[in-house]
Structure 1
Amino acid sequence: MLSQKMQDALNAQINAEFWSAYLYLSMSAYANAQGYPGMAHWFEVQYQEELDHVKIFFDYILQRDGRVMLDPIQGVPTEWANPLDLFQNTLKHEQTVTGLINKLYATSLEDNDFATQSMLKWFIDEQVEEEENAKNIIDSLKMIGDNGYGIYTLDKDLATRVYTQAAPLAAKNA
């Protein structure tokens, strides 16, 4: 059974993950409007991954005999200066999410909640990957600069990203 403190923190994370999904859907819409279908696709995959994260936390709370409480989702940005700004904001957001996951883990340590610690391990590893992916795209955009062909090529490359269901969710559904 979850402590009230842990349940509240996990519910807050559900809301944060929904907000992340909403943000990435907004980024996808922006990229589409700017003529970057590959970037739009990349953000659509991010959106789908965030929904998977919501479901993992949602199911975990229920599995631990807790209660899920959904809050309204706050508005998200809808405009960015250019692709570099878009991905710099992505990295900044992922760093914020990493901080949230780390706080959850710290709460689970305070509560001696070993089950939650085990569940959060996957998210900790996932955040390392999320930050690395955004940083790699930023590095590419910085090398490309204003080179239209380079941006075109990167956009085509980002269009090849394949959505794969989040690991804990996939394992549960196997």
Structure 2
Amino acid sequence: MLHPNVIGDWQEYDEDFTGLRVRVHSFEKGDVPRRGRDDEAKGLTYFSFQVTVENRAEEYFDLRLYRNEVQIRAGKDGHSAFLDVYGSVWIEDFRLYPLRRASATIYAAALASHLKTLDIQIAMRVDHEDTDPYVWLGSDGVPESTGRTAAKKTSGKGIADEVSKFLEQGGADA
């Protein structure tokens, strides 16, 4: 992959998991879990996003998306964001049948100034095997992709290029 996915893009899996695709979408700044803020996130700004997995194959897959399969980096220097494990809603040992979707809602927190650059890495477990990690990028102020197609794998004037240029310029108000 030459470019990371943009938040909103679908990423197709290859080989053993053909027909399975995943999407990181619905980024919302200031979204606090229903259970409230975690004390460890004091002084940080909460945000949330969804991870949706879709099965377009003719067979089912067993999915797991839990805290060990999600990594979030915030800011230009890639600082680790606080992942609210207890406030998030995960996909645990779920059998995803053909033509079905499963979604997880992930809550995290970072310094407000770091929300101008986010990298979200997802490496699910499918059928009890680790999958290759895929990365989505986005931020507060970067438009979400329409999600209709996967990110372009060749250079061009796609949304991934626009986001790359936006981030190289330091974000909206960096």
Greater per-residue helix proportion:
1
Greater per-residue strand proportion:
2
Task: Say which one has the larger Rg.
Answer: 1
Q: TM-score, with normalisation over the residues of structure 2?
A: 0.31
